[in-house]
Structure 1
């Protein structure tokens, strides 16, 4: 069939209509896919917001629970030190806050502020213990021990207080020096509040001849000297000291002397004794 000039090879019109319809259908399908994708994104975003809000609520509740536990534990750490101040037997000095060791006639006085949970105090005792014992036994030095509870305040707990009370109970029994040494020799790690347990302190009393008695146990369990310890610590805070241990020889802070050694301390005390 002759299609006439200019018509040769032209595609049938129904083919063009079919292509146009397909294009429109393709565009509509693309729009639908885009709409579906947006709907999915909105749903996912809504779900994400729900999860975030829910997670935040869980975190708040968890923090509240932790805070409640910490508050409860903090309450347990506090020991009631309100009450009559009962100084241990033989305590002297201002407000009877010093526990004396050695002869009153000694020409040199070593004033020591210590905390039984304090690692630096243990280091001082380990280094100077034998020298101090030698000088006090020789009548050349008297020591005045003051007890503080600095670590309880810094780390939490009540081990400093409980140990100080137990040491005061040992003073009542005339066993302070030996028990004082036992506490430092067996000192737990600074973060371990083992001395908060009266049972631990009573068990350590077994290392001192004649101390593990019913009277000592009752004194420890009753916290007989808790208020005295609290008053001693208040005096420490008011003394302007930088920390524990604070060690004064005849009023001069020798712990801050970088050149101080047990041998130098011994020499200073013996020279004062001869003067």
Structure 2
């Protein structure tokens, strides 16, 4: 300790040391607060991103359930599509649809059998992206509930999936209505041979977060309407599929798939 001559302490030096120590403590305190604030911000961002990227329950088709007729298999593609067909098929047909969409019903009525035939004979794999574009046109988010039912059916028994889709479009409710009830969705699933377990999946709306995320992904990719159809990655035009009247050409997909397979 610094002292005046005679051994007495130097009050000025002591005051300087106290002031210096106080500044150091203040600086340390500020640093601790800043570190804590940065950590809190980082944790907040991480939690927000985790919630944003949380897909909830993710549908999958068990290997034991994926074998269909004639060597076809079923999987859930990365884009969320239910993928059905022989792995070595020359043609991939991707159908982006909403089960509440009247034009999608028109496309299916005209082409469902042609697509099924191509899958059954090994020419094509079909990928159905059943998503929720039209929730605003029902009072019960029917598009989302129907898309959820699509995953419930695919994961329960993919061999019934194409038949179920046809039945669902046959019973499509009008836009602006409440849509089909969950009980009716369950009845339709059971009518094509799905097990009772599919009912709980439909009632729980098990895949709602996944559907929301995949719908956003498809919209972000540039798809703005349904149905949107791709064959081997190329988007089909209205001229490919529709008559001048606007109605879908019956079995137009049969010729398109045959040409793509050559």
Pick the TM interval, shorter chain: 0.5 to 0.7
Distance change (3 Å), C-alpha of 1:124 and 1:157: same
Are 2:175 and 1:190 equivalent residues in the alignment?
Answer: yes
1:236 is matched with which residue?
Answer: 218
1:221 is matched with which residue?
Answer: 203
Report matched runs for 1:1-275 at 5 Å. 84-89=56-61, 91-94=75-78, 97-174=80-157, 175-195=160-180, 197-209=181-193, 211-213=194-196, 215-258=197-240, 261-273=249-261, 275=262
Give the aligned CA root-mean-square deviation in angstroms.
2.2
CA contact (8 A) 1:118 1:244 kept: yes
Q: Provide, for residues 165-209 of structure 1, a one-character-per-residue CA deviation record: whole Å limited to 9, x for no partner.
A: 1111101122322211111111011122223x2111112123202
CA contact (8 A) 1:168 1:176 kept: no
Give unpaired runs (5+ residues) of structure 1.
1-81
2-structure distance, mates of 1:91, 1:238: 23
Q: Provide, for residues 195-252 of structure 1, a one-character-per-residue CA deviation record: whole Å limited to 9, x for no partner.
A: 3x2111112123202x141x11111111111122112211121121120110111122
2-structure distance, mates of 1:186, 1:122: 10
Give unpaired runs (5+ residues) of structure 2.
1-53, 62-73, 243-248
2-structure distance, mates of 1:255, 1:101: 23
The two structures have a TM-score, normalised by structure 2, of 0.66
- Of Structure 1 and Structure 2, the greater helix share is in 1
Distance change (3 Å), C-alpha of 1:198 and 1:263: closer
2-structure distance, mates of 1:207, 1:241: 33
Distance change (3 Å), C-alpha of 1:222 and 1:262: same
CA contact (8 A) 1:102 1:141 kept: yes
The two structures have a TM-score, normalised by structure 1, of 0.63
Deviation at 1:154, TM superposition (A): 4.8
Q: Secondary structure at the match of 1:234?
A: helix
Q: Between Structure 1 and Structure 2, whose CA radius of gyration is higher?
A: 1
Q: Provide, for residues 47-72 of structure 1, a one-character-per-residue CA deviation record: whole Å limited to 9, x for no partner.
A: xxxxxxxxxxxxxxxxxxxxxxxxxx
Q: Provide, for residues 101-126 of structure 1, a one-character-per-residue CA deviation record: whole Å limited to 9, x for no partner.
A: 22121111111111001111000000
CA contact (8 A) 2:148 2:205 kept: yes
2-structure distance, mates of 1:140, 1:124: 20
